[in-house]
Copies of this chain bind each other. A is one copy, B any other.
């Protein structure tokens, strides 16, 4: 029986990127839909769950994507609501690559240092990728500084993570200038920059001034990058004693995680691949080496 992946994209045209990855992950048939939102998805989900028999439903899966993460989250919730008890299919959400990117970044970090107890800062931590990275670091027991432009937004992100991990060590921090951002990173061992395109958090030379920093990861793929000292292609490159990764340096693992997650969908009909379960897959890949 052929493996069918149904791509629900919140953008008007379904992502080429997600389609290529699906093909390369070994999906047999890809049904790609653009312009999907909570109000028009239910009958499409019913079409997925009411065609094949219960024993065959693991051969059909759903992927939720698109450039807008908030819309993707709403769509995922509506997709799951359309299931009827055991009549369900596995579903993965990765709008704008948020889950695979955050999972790969934190898994890369764990390859170079012990995250438990580490002093870690996430810049741009209220964006979709940064928030997920902070959540995964909290899960690993790091002491996480959650940095945003305003304290209100940073505190809201902290509260949200604490709901899931009540004993996590988190600190909300506001930083509006690159001087303030650099100041947040002093005495930190790990920094992950997850800002929007065009936002530079740490100016050139910052890494040489942050002497405690062991590892710095910049997830911005489009110049100007978020940490000026790191090129997008950097992959475990040393800079003043800091191991550095750029977005493309993390990208190899991110792609593998994306493909493995898609394959994982087809092992059962009740998987829900969110950031946590995608991170588990990233750890598996890192363990395999």
A-to-B contact residues, CB < 8 Å: 1-2, 4, 6, 12-13, 15-21, 23-24, 28-33, 35-36, 40, 43-48, 50-52, 60, 67, 221, 255
Copies in the complex: 3
Q: Which residues of B contact A35 (CB under 8 A)?
A: 12-13
CB distance from A194 to the nearest CB of B (A): 18
Task: Give Cα A29–Cα B31 distance, bound, in whole angstroms.
Answer: 12
Task: Give Cα A29–Cα B46 distance, bound, in whole angstroms.
Answer: 23
Q: Which residues of B contact A4 (CB under 8 A)?
A: 19-20, 23
A48 and B16 contact, CB distance less than 8 A: yes
Task: Give Cα A6–Cα B17 distance, bound, in whole angstroms.
Answer: 11
A15 and B255 contact, CB distance less than 8 A: no
CB distance from A66 to the nearest CB of B (A): 11
Q: Which residues of B contact A48 (CB under 8 A)?
A: 16-17, 20
CB distance from A166 to the nearest CB of B (A): 39
Residue from the list B23, B44, B50, B67 in contact with A13, Cβ < 8 A: B44
A31 and B31 contact, CB distance less than 8 A: no
A255 and B51 contact, CB distance less than 8 A: yes
B13 and A1 contact, CB distance less than 8 A: no
